[in-house]
Each structure stands twice: as C-alpha cells, then as structure tokens.
Structure 1
C-alpha cells in the first residue's frame, strides 16, 4: 500500500510537480489471486472476413436490463428494460412471450418487489438521474401507477414485502444524510415509520428479508470495509446484532430461507476475500462453503431451502451455481461463459425455476431462465439486434501483466480481427469506475465499438479494484492516481509488447473514476497518451467534497481522508494539480444533473485547459445523471467518442 506524506500542501505540490512521470513503487507487490503472466506475443488477431465496424446505434438499440422479478405465481417475469430507449417495466410470460409494457416514463425504473397476493409490482424511480428515489406500485395486469412515498427530500429504495403482504420494508435516506435507515410501510394505509435511527454518519442500513417479529438487515460503513448482520424488530425495540466481527471485515446477509431459520451470508473476515456460507439463526453458528481463491458471494435460497445459489467471480468471469446446503455438492446451471448473475435478490419460482441475467464480451445482455430440476437453461428475452452476431464480434480474453512494483494486474483485453503484427494499430486503455469496481467479461459497448474499428482495447483491474481481495482493494487508499495510475501506464507497455500497437497512438477513456483516471493520466503522464475522452470524471476532490451527496462525501473520506487534515493527499490526488501539463486532446462528456460528479467538475477542467491553449471540447447532456441512460444520449456520446479518437489516433 503506497504511503502518502504528511506534508504541507505547498510542499506536496512542489514535490509532485517535480517528480518523475510514474509514482515511486512500494517495497512489495500487492497480493492478489491473479498469478502467472501473459506472454503479450501469445495474443493473436484472428482472421474474420465478416468483421466490420459496429454502428453506435446498433449497440444501443440492443437493449439492456436493470432488474427483473417473477410474479408471485411464477407465470410471468417483470423486467426493467429499455425497449423504447427508457428503462421501464415490461411483463414477459414465462414461456418467452412478446413483452407487454406496464409503465411509461422518461426516468429509469428498477428495484422490483412482487406482492405475495400476485396483484402488485413495487419499483423505485428517480427524476432526471438525481438519485432521489420514490417507491411506486403498478398492477401486475397493468393500470395506473401509484406513487407510494412522494418524498422529494427522502430517497426510498430496496423494497421487500413481508410474507403476508401486509408490510413493505425499505431503505430510507434523507437528502442531508449520508446513510439510510430501515423503514416500513403498512400496505393498506401507506403509513411509514422508521425502525432504525443510525447515529454514526458513516454507517448505512439495508433490508435483506423477513423473519418472525421483524427483519434481517445489513449495517455497514460507506467505505465497504466494515459490515454486520442485524435483526430489526417491528415493535420498536433496539436492533440486535446477529453477527460479530473481531476485526475490520465484512459479513453480509443476502437471503433468508423460506422457513426463516437460515441466512445466506458472505464474509471476507477469514482471508480478505469474499466467501459464501450459511448461518443458523437459532444458534448463531456459521458454515462456510469450500474455499476458493476468487471472489465468491451467496445468493438466494431455493424454495425448499436445501440449496443455495452461489456467485463465483473468477478473475472477471462470473458464474452462478447451486450448492447443496447439507453436502456442499455443486451443480452448474448450464449457461455459457461470460457474466451471469441473479436477475434480482429474489430469483426463484415455487417450482424451482431461476431468473438470471447473462452477457459476455461478444454477446449482448439477456434474461435467462434456468430449470434447476432439469438442469437446463434458455434465454427468456432476445434483446440484441441481429447485426450483433457473436460470430462477427471479437471476444475478450483475460490477460495478466506486471506493474512497476511486480504487482500482477488482471485485465480484460479485446484484440480486433484482421490486424497485422506490424506495430501500427491504435489502442485504447479503458479504466473502470469506482475505484471499488471491476471490469468483467461483459458486453462492453465501448470495447466492441472500438475493437470493431481496429483499436486494441485493454481494460485493466488496477489496485483498488474489487474481486482480488481486501488488501488489493485498499491498496490505493490515500494514493488515488498514484500507483493505480502506474498500473494503467504499464498496460500501455503490454499493448506495445504484443507487436500490434503503435505506442504513439494510444488513447484513454473512462467514466466516473475512469474519467478521473483519464484526467490524471494525461496530466501526470502526458507523453504516454495521444488522445483522451473523460466521461463525468473527477477533476478536483476539494470541490467534490463541497458539492456531492452526503453519502459520497463519506465514501470519499474513506478513500483519501479529510480535506483539512489530509490536504496534501487531496492536492496530490486531484487531476487539477497536473492538468495544465496535458498534451493529449481531450473530449469531456457530462450529465448536467449528476450528483456524484457535479457538472461543475467538467466545466472546471474545460476552462483550465482552454486557459493554457490546450485542445479540449465538451458536450453536456440535460436531464442525465451519473452516466447516460437515455438512448439518444448514449448513441450521441458514443459517436462523439469514436469521432474524437479516430481524429487523433487514426488521422494524425
């Protein structure tokens, strides 16, 4: 873990401006399960006469999904998908019928809960990406939408019906607060009352499921480094801990068995890596599944409680399997490789059918149904365009390279078809968001758009990423844009070593923390990059702290400390400290209603670069928040990104 110095702001600034382009390496490599290095010359560009550029419109007319849930009788699934260019709710019969639209809105709708009587679907929606959610209800058969909460200054999410349908539990977050509390609503009268009153501003509550007399909930800090499981009483009594943590670790519940006796749990307490298990509520005893070096989380129980869904994230490829609770025997669900997940927290029908989502680097997103008794699986939806034939799209592979200090970095890499190994191809590095996030083997529209146009694309999981253990995840704390940026720079060396890439034609683009990394890269390592596109990226942590949501302020403190006592860290970790040194032409794309990276961040970077005569352009999207969810804006942003990179990486 890199060290940040206790220096005055001025001294820190002087040191960093005088320092070499790359950060000084720590003494030891950061440990992670990723072992073995990839020979860059082993990567091959396959010949495919059918390959060609994929239109940006095709990528976004291939729809996505935010959430899905079975109706109470299991005869249909309610899915949130953007068939119309907006993420609204649609009903799809279990046999895969033509979807029927239930709701219509310009705003995204997700967080689904089905009433036990089979009559209602509850969902959450915000306004223009402002992340202040209300809860709504719509009849399963269609009809008027009812706003259940209608609270502009309180965000309500994560709805959970009680087994008798009389009560709805959810997380409630006041706009001024960082964390959420547990609230319940009487379904008959819609009256709301709080069950928790969190006193520590850095902690937040989330409901999991119902047990006799109340709820099981998770309580954790906003830095995702400390979490425990609690029982919350309906009668107003104080919450009681179900788990205890001796060290700073995470123990979280993901489901309650149908009989209310057993919890599905996930913890990183033993090794720093997430592992799945079950907890007996009567005794408090836990049993853990067979350990794996990779990230493993618990999911939902089968209706009979005899098996548990387990999600394994093995180096960026994610699968779902069923584990027999008594014997530990594992059964696969028959889905292809790539990225598979539960479609929602509650994913089984009474007869054992499981609702899943699946995608891969060359296969668009769809909902699938796995028949857990027959051991078969098939798509429920067909959301991709026919033009996106996997046979014509390059597939990604997982590669490993060593960073400056020997830390092994895992990355998702896409090599275009029909390249010559002559060192002339352009390339793009795509840092992920977070920083507590991970690029996985999913359908990346950016990677497909660029690789289909001849760009070699690499998406590194640098230190700070999830999926490789807590030590790796925390290795960039108080060092944002330091050694994690070095990891990104070493990705360019790996690209060049393949023999395909021209080192003078490498660009960088990313969103959120990926946008921050893009800005940090062109400022701190200006000679590495030939073009850049920052999408809602952070330029100034001081200004972020002043204007962002309270929850994000707490998250920011967990990453880089306090802006007063850790002022030197803030200076060293802000792209504003270095951005005047940038040489790469920069395009900025930003939503005007972004509460995570406020629009002022984008305007600040543009104004600063213009003041020093740098090449910079920007486009702002009204009624969009953190990331673009309206189809016309998604297409426009992708077209602008492609045109910018083509201009400066291909036409020079």
Structure 2
C-alpha cells in the first residue's frame, strides 16, 4: 500500500493517551512491551542530516524518516504486519524498504522520496525473492541480492535509467551483497561456493561481474574459518576493504587492499569478539567489542594503531555509528534499564514519545562446568527472592546468537510473575570464540541441550530452581530446542513453551527458505536424503511420543524459516496420543512486529504455565 497517506499517525511524537497508558491500569510487564522504542538511526552517507529509524510508536514496528535540520519525523511505511528492513540512498533522497507479504520475507524492494510521496517498485522487472543484500551507489547504481528455491543466489546490477536489471552472479549455494566501493567501481560479494554455509569467502568484482580479487580462509572447505564484509573505505579511490576474520579463533577486523592484495591484521588486543566500522573520514575505525555478554566501544586510529576507549555505561551496546563530526551515536541498554539512543556528545539523541518502560532487575553471571567447557548463563530473579523458585529456562534463537546484559521485555515479564529466569549461552552461541560457535555440527540440538542440562543441574543444586516447576521455553531455534528437550529429557521439565519452532526437521528442511537449507546441510553434513540418521536424531518429531509435559506452541502461518506444515505434523502426533497441548496460530511470519499481538502471545504463555504448574 502507498504510505504517502498512512492510516495511522505520521509523526511518532503525536500520540493520544488511552486508558491503557494511564498509571496503574496495566501491569508493568505489558508497559514494557507497549513503551515506544526507537532503533539506532541510520544516516545518509552524503546527507548526514537525513536519518532513518524503526519505531513501534503506532503499536506496530515501522520505518520513520527524520530530518535533523528541521526536526521533522515522518512515518514512511504503514503495513498491518509492520516493516523493519530499509535503508537510505547515499544522497538521502530516497528511502528503500523491503515489501513482503504478511511476514513471509519473500518480496521486492520499494522506494519512496525522503520527504514523502508515492511508493514505487525500486527495481522494476525483478520478481519477488528472499533478500540477499542491497547496495546503492552514489551514481545511482544498485546491486540487489536475491535468493529463491529455483535459482539459488543471484546478484543483479541496475544502472541509472536502465530498463532492466542485469544478472552478474549466480550460484546454487548461499551468497549475498557485501558492499560497493565509494566510487562504485568495486563490489564485494560474500559467498559459500565451497558448500560451508557457516564460513563465507569474499570475492571482489567489477560491476559487470568480472573478478578482481578473492580471499578464502576456508581452504577448500577443509578449514572452518570464515570472513565477513564490514565495508569499503569511505574515501574516493581507496580500494581497502574492511573484513572480519576468524584466524585466531574469534572474530577480528582485517584491512585488505583489494588492488595490491596487502592484508593488514589489526590484532586488536581485547578478549572476546571484535568488529569494526569506518569513521566517515577513513582515519579510524569504531571498534565494537563483545565479551561475556556485554558490549563496549573503542576508537582505533589507523595511522598509529592506537586504541582509545569510547565512554559508554556498563551493559550492552547493541549498535553504534560514528558521525561526521567525530561523535558516536549508540543504542544502549542493560537487563535492568530500558534502551536509549545516546551520543558521546552527551544525552539522548532520539527518544520515543510516551511513557518510559519500567525498569527490571539486573542479571547475575553464572559459570557452570559442562561437557564441552565452561558455560555462561545469565540469571534474573524477583527482587529479594531466594528460592527455590519456579524457573524458566529461556533459550535463545539463532543458534548463532547469544543472550546478553540487555533489556528484554519477555524475561522481565516472567520475573514480574515470581519466576527466576535462566538464559544459557550454550555451545553454538556467538561471543565465546569460533570453537564454541562451531561445536554443533552433526549433533545439533543434542549438544545445546547437554549444556542446558548442566546449567539446570546447577540451578537446582544451588537452591535457585524448584525441580518440580521447571519451564523450558524459547523461540525459533530456542523453540526447536524446547520441543527436542521435552522429548529427550521428559522427566525434568514441567512445562514446555515453543514459539515458531522446528518440530519436524525433515519437513522443515524441504519447506524452508533456500538459505536455511544450505545452513542445515552444513550443520548436518548433508541433506535428509544423504544423512537421514542425523536428521532423525536431531528432530523433535522422533521423540514426540516420549513427551510428558504440557506443551504450548505458537506459530506464524506465513513463516518461511520454521514453516507451518512441519509444526502441524508434530501437533497431530501429540493429539493422536492425547498429550496435553495447546496451539496458537497467527497471521504473520517468523514472529510478530505488532505490539498487541506480542503481548497476547506472552499472556497466553504466562497463563498456560501458571495453569499447569499449579496442578
């Protein structure tokens, strides 16, 4: 639909108070979800006063344009299921946004003038697909990455004024757009032509697809080292490409001159994973450092190699960007304190209107010895509570992700209801080195559950958790682990709550988006036809008849990642033997961007757990 005249408020600063907004009328856990939020604003490279951000100010997450010179903020998109994938053209004249259907992630790029106007297809002639990246050049050249079941990965070049896009890359394995150089003469492509979807190589090509340089740390797929594109130098004529590498067992930045082949290993001496992005003048790098579930920022001077800390509060910096004036804007929060967009110049840069989210409780760090090494877990409990408490093991998705000391309304809701919450950064999680992340292969699901079991034993032995009131819960990969855990560890869990899960791995493989099929082949060592025993061992459907705990499942009917058919297969097996279960299906994809829908889902989970734990 056209967003020039949206049906909702067009200015996130213009809101109307409702009874649900008034103090004392709704519980704190709902207020945390309803409290307006904003993302870190992206700014146009050649028009830094023009920014784009995401906000839930209308109750649905949508894109907003912000003119910093005038102060005007304008809602760009207005769709029933929300919009979060967008970017600005370098000149700031156009807002590009990805238009899918009801959250299915399959669609086309649209664009709209920055100050408002009709939407139009950004790249006429390209059929809908899953997105595999986008790069917009200063001269108007555009490279669009696409992924489909039929074609695999393709990249398409669109010149200004051209009638159609030209295909410049195609491969069956996963690939995507990395970045365009400042002058648009070079394109970086991340690809996995070697067949390992977890560890990409990087190829630099001319706009016509002609190869210029290649960097592949996988050595033919025998060495599990990956690369990631962080961006070309923001200076005309500069052929240096900033990459992230894993050569020392963690993510670190590397400067690669794509013209000469010279590689400069920055060897930044910080523990944990290190990422970086260019300062706008190319003189330095803003270093994002993640270690033991916290995040902080540093400035690296390229000429001298010196490292200077950027002052941020304790907690997690989830995203950050350097501005042309040398200041840094960043999105910060902690488990106890709601997020805010701050600046090193001082104060809050962008604040959503309305009531601030209520604080929650801080996290406690726990380290537990496990079968694959020390496991880091984050624990929250109601203020003043000692235990043993009903305890929710909230399992993160990914699996290449990790829980951190950041504000999260879901865990806070359980704490408000008297539960302890334990979040485990199991093997497979990021932030603890390459070996920890890559440990899943060929025994996926079972490995993560071994780590969760070790932390569960600690929680019970320490007196925190009531062994008769343990809840296993999670979404996406966490939902998959929930269903697998209920079947492989049936005697220990009292309730299971699985959101958008993998439930029948073979059917999920055949129905999911192509990029995830490639990832599954990497994790399993082949397809279901090639390694059927591995898919069987790691599929929740294999163990469904062993499940004893009441099971609650929520699923988006348009989900391309954990499709609905394989969930229906699992539910039919539960129903056939009369197992206690409830299923909630909603009209969206892999989760919902509508605030009230998300509150409804959490409320249903809270009520289901309370009802069955009271028995």
What is the TM-score of this pair, normalised by structure 2?
0.88
Q: 1:256 to 1:615 in 2, by over 3 A?
A: same
Q: Distance in 2 between matches of 1:638 and 1:361?
A: 18
CA shift digits 1:140-187 (9 cap, x unpaired): 112222221364433345332213x32122312234244x33322224
Residue in 2 aligned with 1:79?
53
SS in structure 2 at match of 1:604: helix
- Tell me whether 1:316 sits opposite 2:285 in the alignment: no
Residue 401 of structure 1: which of 368, 372, 396 is its match? Answer: 368
Indicate yes or no: 2:515 matched with 1:548.
Answer: no
Check whether the contact 1:158–1:171 (CA below 8 A) recurs between aligned residues.
Answer: yes
Q: TM-score, normalised by structure 1?
A: 0.83
Q: In structure 2, how many angstroms separate the alpha carbons of the residues matched to 1:277 and 1:224? A: 21
Contact 1:251 1:268 in 2 (8 A): yes
Match of 1:20 in 2: none
* 8 Å CA contact retained: 1:507, 1:530: yes
Partners of 1:430 and 1:147 lie apart in 2 by 40
* 2:217–2:225 contact (8 Å) kept in structure 1: no
275-284 or 96-105, which deviates more: 96-105
Q: Which has the higher contact order (CA 8 A, sep 6+)?
A: 1
Q: For the Cα contact (< 8 Å) 1:319–1:341, is it kept in 2? A: no
In structure 2, C-alpha distance between the alignment counterparts of 1:190 and 1:647, rounded to whole Å: 61
Cα offset for 1:577?
1.4
In 1, are the aligned partners of 2:85 and 2:98 still within 8 Å (CA)?
yes
Distance 2:486 2:92 in 1: 54
Structure 2 Cα separation of the partners of residues 157 and 503 of structure 1: 45
Q: Deviations over 1:186-218 (max 9, x none)?
A: 2434631122222xx223132313255232232
TM-aligned CA distance change 1:120 to 1:384, over 3 Å: closer
CA separation of 1:574 and 1:209: change in aligned 2, threshold 3 A? same
CA distance in structure 1 between the aligned counterparts of 2:404 and 2:575, rounded to whole angstroms? 36
**Alignment map for 1:622-633 (pairs within 5 Å):** 622=587, 624-633=588-597
1:621–1:186 Cα change, 3 Å? same
Contact conserved, 1:196 with 1:239, CA < 8 A, in 2? no
Q: Distance in 2 between matches of 1:93 and 1:262?
A: 31
**Please, what is the CA RMSD of the aligned residues?**
2.6
Q: Contact between 1:134 and 1:157, CA under 8 Å: does it hold in 2?
A: no
- Which of the numbers 459, 464, 486 marks the counterpart of 1:495? 459
Judging changes above 3 Å, is the alpha-carbon distance between structure 1 residues 481 and 348 closer, same or farther for their aligned structure 2 residues?
closer
Q: Aligned runs of 1:427-438 on 2, under 5 Å? A: 427-438=391-402
Match of 1:379 among 322, 326, 348: 348
> Does the 8 Å contact 2:31/2:358 carry over to 1?
no
Residue in structure 1 matching 2:104, options 105, 114, 130: 130
- Counterpart-to-counterpart distance in 2, 1:100 and 1:416: 40
In the alignment, structure 1 residue 202 sits paired with structure 2 residue 167: no
Q: Structure 2, unaligned stretches of length 5 or more?
A: 1-23
The residue number in structure 2 matching 1:327 is 304
Alignment counterpart, residue 511 of structure 1, candidates 475, 478, 484: 475
Give, in angstroms, the shift of residue 236 of structure 1.
4.4
| Residues 1:231 and 2:204 are matched in the alignment | yes
User: In 2, Cα distance between the equivalents of 1:276 and 1:318?
Assistant: 16
Structure 1 residue aligned with 2:129: 154
Cα offsets for 1:67-102 (capped at 9, x unmatched): 731144222421122211222221334489573323
Residue 563 of structure 1 aligns to a residue in which SS? Answer: coil
| Match of residue 7 from structure 1 | none
Structure 1 CA distance for aligned equivalents of residues 212 and 107 of structure 2? 25
Secondary structure of the equivalent of 1:133? strand
User: CA separation in 2, counterparts of 1:154 and 1:317?
Assistant: 36
Residue 487 of structure 1, CA deviation: 1.1
Q: Is the 8 A contact 2:135 2:177 kept in 1?
A: no
Partners of 1:394 and 1:417 within 8 A in 2:
yes
Q: Is the 8 A contact 1:65 1:87 kept in 2?
A: no
Shift of 1:442: 2.1
Unpaired stretches in structure 1, ≥5 consecutive residues? 1-50, 371-375
Q: How does 1:575-614 map to 2 (within 5 A)?
A: 575-614=540-579
Provide the residue aligned with 1:48 in structure 2: none
CA–CA separation in structure 2 for the residues paired with 1:99 and 1:400: 45
Asked whether the 8 Å contact 1:103–1:145 carries over to 2, the reply is no
SS in 2 for 1:149: coil
Distance 2:135 2:466 in 1: 53
- Report the equivalent of 2:407: 443
